[in-house]
């Protein structure tokens, strides 16, 4: 069994170290997200978007082109200050949070992006996380979310810890072994999407010198949007 813990603080500390060092593995608005938003985002005047776990803010740079009001929350203070200086958004639009308790009122957003984040959640807090996402999404609002596949290099080159759970290898970038969630099939995470109606299930594969391979989900919160 890999000598790696299973707690959120490890993943959180790893990201904070990365951003504090100035590393930025994902130096893009992710092209698969750009395509998914282009096809499914439905921005309208006054609609509000949120990115949970925005990292260095690369996806936010694209979201602000689509949505008039864009918010973001992060667990890493260094990521927050990097994104703040890169984006120049109005005060309060980007916030720190504890990784689970989303600091927004119910039914705040028309669109929520959660991209390359769910792999770092604690397995026994996944439902809590998704209940929070559902709470802050408006009825009829749309979620764009990824779930890492077991063919992703972080899982494939890592070590199995248990069902859908792997210890990553320590790469130059992560410089640490962290526990991640990874799946063979969408049926293994479908229970987390209770309260949603599926719009599109796909796959996002990106080669950044190693394969980032995720299931991609676009889903609507059940219920008609308020008129």
Ligand X SMILES: C[S@@+](CC[C@H](N)C(=O)[O-])C[C@H]1O[C@@H](n2cnc3c(N)ncnc32)[C@H](O)[C@@H]1O
Query: What does the binding site for ligand X look like in residue numbers (CB under 6 A)?
Result: 8, 11-12, 15, 26, 30, 53-55, 58-59, 74-76, 79, 99, 115-117, 120-121
Nearer to ligand X, 39 or 197 (CB): 39
- Round to whole Å and give the CA distance between 36 and 59: 12
Closest approach of Cβ 159 to ligand X, in Å?
19
Closest approach of Cβ 23 to ligand X, in Å?
11
Closest approach of Cβ 45 to ligand X, in Å?
26
30 and 115 in contact (C-beta within 8 Å)? yes
Query: Which residue's CB atom is positioned nearest to ligand X?
Result: 99
Closest approach of Cβ 225 to ligand X, in Å?
25
Nearer to ligand X, 117 or 167 (CB): 117
Closest approach of Cβ 147 to ligand X, in Å?
13
Nearer to ligand X, 126 or 219 (CB): 126
Nearer to ligand X, 47 or 204 (CB): 204
Closest approach of Cβ 71 to ligand X, in Å?
14
Nearer to ligand X, 29 or 140 (CB): 29
Structure tokens given for 71: 């918010």
Nearer to ligand X, 53 or 141 (CB): 53
């Amino acid at each position: 069994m890999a000598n790696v813990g299973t707690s959120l603080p490890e993943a959180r500390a790893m990201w904070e170290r990365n951003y504090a060092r100035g590393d930025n593995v994902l130096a893009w608005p992710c092209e698969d997200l750009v395509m998914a938003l282009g096809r499914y985002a439905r921005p309208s005047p006054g609609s509000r978007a949120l990115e949970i776990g925005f990292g260095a803010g690369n996806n936010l740079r694209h979201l602000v082109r689509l949505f008039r009001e864009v918010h973001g929350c992060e667990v890493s203070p260094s990521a927050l200050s990097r994104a703040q200086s890169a984006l120049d958004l109005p005060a309060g639009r980007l916030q720190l949070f504890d990784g689970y308790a989303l600091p927004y009122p119910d039914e705040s957003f028309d669109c929520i992006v959660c991209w390359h984040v769910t792999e770092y959640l604690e397995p026994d807090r996944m439902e809590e996380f998704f209940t929070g996402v559902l709470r802050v999404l408006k009825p009829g609002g749309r979620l764009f979310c990824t779930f890492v596949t077991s063919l992703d290099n972080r899982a494939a080159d890592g070590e199995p810890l248990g069902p859908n759970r792997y210890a990553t290898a320590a790469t130059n970038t992560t410089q640490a072994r962290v526990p991640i969630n990874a799946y063979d099939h969408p049926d293994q995470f479908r229970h987390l999407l209770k309260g949603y109606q599926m719009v599109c299930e796909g796959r996002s594969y990106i080669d950044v010198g190693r394969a980032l391979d995720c299931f991609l989900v676009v889903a609507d919160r059940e219920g008609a949007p308020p008129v």
